[in-house]
Amino acid sequence: MAKSHHEILAPSTHSGPVWSRQWQLMCPACGDEIIDRANRGPDHESVTVSPDRDEYDSPLGTRGGYVRIDLECSGGHSFAFVIGNHKGAEFLGVIPSK
């Protein structure tokens, strides 16, 4: 069963500077916290940076540029963490990988 948003992105228990906030990304399918870049070749091939365009071509359905990081949990579930930006609006999303 898919996890809810607060089960996928939770405040980290690791301590850090007061001004920074760290978040722990969990697998959206099983809740596993052991996440790494997907095994699709060299590390840099797991990260895609798309230029800022005024088209709705982001995996989140938003306009503008985005960064996509392909991830996989230790249980083998594949998904992508997407950070989108368009004209100052920031979007975060977790989507299943194909």
pLDDT in tens, 70-93: 999 999 999 999 998 877 788 888
In this structure, is residue 43 part of a structural domain? yes
Q: Let me know if residue 46 belongs to a domain.
A: yes
Q: Domain limits at 92?
A: 35-96
pLDDT band at 12 (very low <50, low <70, confident <90, very high): confident
23 inside domain: no
Q: For residue 15, is it within any domain?
A: no
Q: Is 53 within 8 Å of 65 (Cβ atoms)? A: yes
Stated pTM of the model: 0.76
Least confident of 5-9, 13-17, 65-69: 13-17
Tell me if 87 is assigned to some domain: yes
Does residue 59 form part of some domain?
yes
Sign of CA dihedral 78, 40, 70, 25: positive
> Has residue 62 got a pLDDT over 80?
yes
Count of domains for the chain = 1
30-48 pLDDT, tens digit each: 999 899 888 766 666 778 8
In a domain, 62, yes or no: yes
Q: Does residue 66 fall inside a structural domain?
A: yes
Per-residue confidence (pLDDT) for residue 28, from 0 to 100:
92
